[in-house]
A and B are shown apart, each in its own frame.
Chain A
Amino acid sequence: MITAPTLTERPEEVPPVALEEETLEKEKKLSPLKVAIWVVIALLGGVSWAMIALVRGETINGIWFVFAAVCSYFIANRFYANVIERYLTKPDDRRATPGEYRLDGHDFVPTDRRILYGHHFAAIAGAGPLVGPVLAAQMGYLPGTIWIIVGVVFAGAVQDYVVLFCSMRRGGRSVGQMAKDELGRFGGIAALIATLVIMLIIIAILALVVVNALGESPWGVFSVGMTIPIALFMGVYLRYIRPGKVAEVSIIGCVLLLAAIIGGGYVAQTNWGKTLFALPPIVIAWAIIIYGFVAAVLPVWLLLAPRDYLSTFMKVGTIAMLAVAIVVVRPNIDVPAMTIWASRSDGPVFSGALFPFLFVTIACGALSGFHAMISSGTTPKLIEKERQTRFIGYGGMLMESFVAIMALVAALSVDHGIYFAMNSSVAGTGGTVEGAVAFVNSLGMTGVNLTPDQLTETARLVGEHSIVSRTGGAPTLAVGLAGIMHQWFGGASMMSFWYHFAIMFEALFILTSVDAGTRVARFMLADALGNFYPKFREANWKVGSYLTTGLMVIGWGSILLLGVTDPLGGINTFFPLFGVANQLLAAIALAVCLLIFARRGRKWSLLIVAVPLTFAAVVTITGSFLKIFSSDPKVGYWANHNRFAQAIADGKTELAGVKTVKAMEAVVRNTAVQTTLSVVFLACALVVIAMCVWKTIEAVRAGGGKDTEDPPIQSLIYAPSGMMAMPAEKVLEKQWVEYYAQHPGADIRGKGH
């Protein structure tokens, strides 16, 4: 059994470091006014959900999605997160966090909760929640909306919160290390391999999104390419000219970035611009691979750090702008709640039935395993007080889900016919306007009557020579965003600017993920190889860092090249792999936390983790099995592999829109790779999950198990737990201000005021 932590006595002159249990309970009691406010929120949310789910008009206003989401988040954050805190995590503010007891002024610093919230959000949010919902719009708005909102409340935010909490109690250890501590060496290795493979896939597919957005687009290539010299300039500025002026240089960088977008429009009209920057996808893919390697071995200050500042600035700014724009413009959506593809498995945007493939297509925004890396990486080392993990972990993920909802609204506001012309692969549309129109109109969707004019006019408005088969989600989102933004600001003449603005900021996020991801993966590999040859762990051993970086880049680079050259449309076939990989990572993280809490002696409250774990496991395992074993060649990699291999053996030269033998061989090769990858990470994830579940059952029977937490240390600082301080917290905060006034040396927090 676990006994309550025994903490040393707090010195008498130090004010309390935590609210008393009774005070906390009293604070949480709902006054009549508060009850009234919550009733209003619940009613507004209920009406919005009814508008979305039940009312069937010709169109639906996008604002209902925002209301339904925001009201649901508020309720979940106030009530469900409270249940998790009370019965499962049980934070104790008397215990010092790693930031306090390992304070080193660098990695371990107790950071103000509001700053840490921004910091954590900037780390978890990227292109994922912007891409998945766009693809999921193929099935109509209802399935995607339900999964994004319900998924985040019961799965995604829970995962981020419990991982953050468990890691914080363990000095900020990573999920991989926690798996090793709980499961032993074998389980730890399986978790490590799964994590590495999954990261490579995620990086590759994200890079694929950028390639698809920039292919044959001189404007896009120029403006995104300009981010590199801009970042280099910022890096030099920060190191040599005005060190530490981060906000200043970020603003300069953003201005230059906007100039690059505007300049791109002029460059794209010139002949030299076209010849220089209208690059085929394969060239862009190689450029990103070379960039990924160079960026990962260059000093961080030169390229990576300044890019990251730009990316953070753009991220927060653009998301806030989009939120305001949706509220101001209130776009009408004419996509049906459920399209015909919701009940079929051969959709042109992504293949597979609603269950399980919708749930893996929308990964980030509902449940994202990648977040476990952040929640068990930087953030736990910066937490100030234990109770703040709820606001940061649970609340941070709610914000990410909101980004996904806005991306969904933006994608839905695009005309449905244009949407399918943009997101169907070349194998269907032939890559031409006429082909796309014939293909989309032949799909048999009611209310869709696409004309060639619509496609050429939209392409002209956004300043691209064609929008046919611009798969990957980013271009569609950019068209949607341009459609919303130009109504608010700038009119039709600004549409091309907004389109390229959207492309730019998505590419910026993704390239930041690519280089940071490569670096993180490289450190993981170096750490693993260090078990056999310790020199790999030395950070300044050049040979080792080049070798590990090279291996990781070859890993994701080869998947990226396969995706770019895939005759069936890389996104269509590879994206499910990305989603499955991400959710499997989530399942691993949840399973490890389940075991941790079971060993802490929790019983029924384990359901809070067990339910999303079961769901994620069922979704990903079913998805993987279908991808590996399904006999439907549209769904199963292996079935498609055999079909094309057989056709080649029979001497056929064309099959299912793939028109050359060489392309058919590419399909055979890609499907083999896809199958292999599916098998590898499914096997690793299954090992970890099965071991966790088995040991969890043991622990529940025994009423607890071994304790892997760091020993409790008495905290000697105080800060409120949520965004706003409760009245009792304010009283306590005041006592601390007075205490610090008398004991100036006691304030360990570097608040930077």
Chain B
Amino acid sequence: MSLRDKAATTWRELAWFVNGVLGANKYQQYLAHHRRHGHGAPMTEREFWRAESDRPVVEGRCC
């Protein structure tokens, strides 16, 4: 593997990790879930995030 490929892989992995921790991969998760269990056309990315941000859920944060 060339240095460039390695750098690209590292960058992809880092982006994957950061997006995962922040929850930015939720739309992809939703699509995967929808493919298996959903009916009809999935929400568009915009629709999904609108619905997502209206959920009243809150995660606890510690001291």
Contact surface of A with B, Cβ cutoff 8 Å: 103-107, 109, 111-112, 114-115, 118-119, 122-128, 202, 206, 238-239, 243-247, 250, 299-301, 304-305, 308-309, 311-313, 316, 363-364, 368, 370-371, 373-374, 377-378, 512-513, 516-517, 519-520, 523, 539-540, 582, 745, 747-753
**Residue pair B62, A107 in contact (C-beta under 8 Å):** no
Identify whether the interface residues of B are mostly helix, strand, loop, or mixed.
Answer: helix
**Residue pair B19, A752 in contact (C-beta under 8 Å):** yes
A205 to B55, CA, bound (A): 30
**Residue pair A312, B57 in contact (C-beta under 8 Å):** no
A126 to B46, CA, bound (A): 32
**Residue pair B20, A115 in contact (C-beta under 8 Å):** yes
* Count, chain B residues at interface, CB 8 A: 39
B29 to chain A, nearest CB (A): 3
Contacts of B18 in A (CB 8 A): 247
**Residue pair B29, A752 in contact (C-beta under 8 Å):** yes
* Residues from 36 to 55 in B contacting A, C-beta threshold 8 Å: 36-37, 45-46, 48-50, 53-55
**Residue pair A752, B20 in contact (C-beta under 8 Å):** yes
**Residue pair B57, A300 in contact (C-beta under 8 Å):** yes
**Residue pair A377, B59 in contact (C-beta under 8 Å):** yes
> Which residue of the partner chain, among A202, A238, A305, A747, contacts B63 with CB atoms under 8 Å?
A202
Which of B15, B18, B28, B45 has its CB near the most chain A CB atoms (within 10 A)?
Answer: B18
> Which residue of the partner chain, among B32, B50, B55, B58, contacts A106 with CB atoms under 8 Å?
B55
A-B contact pairs, 24 of them (CB 8 A): A103-B33, A104-B33, A105-B33, A112-B20, A115-B17, A123-B62, A126-B62, A126-B63, A127-B63, A243-B46, A244-B27, A246-B23, A247-B15, A247-B22, A299-B54, A300-B57, A377-B59, A513-B63, A517-B61, A539-B56, A750-B28, A750-B29, A752-B20, A752-B25
**Residue pair B19, A246 in contact (C-beta under 8 Å):** yes
Contacts of A753 in B (CB 8 A): 16, 28
**Residue pair A752, B62 in contact (C-beta under 8 Å):** no
A374 to B57, CA, bound (A): 14
If A105-B29, A118-B17 touch, whether A250 touches B60 (CB-CB below 8 Å) is no
**Residue pair A238, B53 in contact (C-beta under 8 Å):** yes
A245 to B23, CA, bound (A): 10
A206 to B30, CA, bound (A): 36
A312 to B31, CA, bound (A): 25
Which of A239, A371, A745 has its CB near the most chain B CB atoms (within 10 A)?
Answer: A239
**B24 at interface, CB cutoff 8 A:** yes
A299 to B54, CA, bound (A): 7
**Residue pair A520, B58 in contact (C-beta under 8 Å):** yes
> Which residue of the partner chain, among A107, A520, A750, contacts B32 with CB atoms under 8 Å?
A750
If A246-B23, A246-B24 touch, whether A114 touches B17 (CB-CB below 8 Å) is yes
A118 to B24, CA, bound (A): 14
A99 to B38, CA, bound (A): 17
**Residue pair A123, B49 in contact (C-beta under 8 Å):** no
If A112-B20, A750-B25 touch, whether A371 touches B54 (CB-CB below 8 Å) is no
Contacts of A308 in B (CB 8 A): 59, 61
B17 to chain A, nearest CB (A): 6
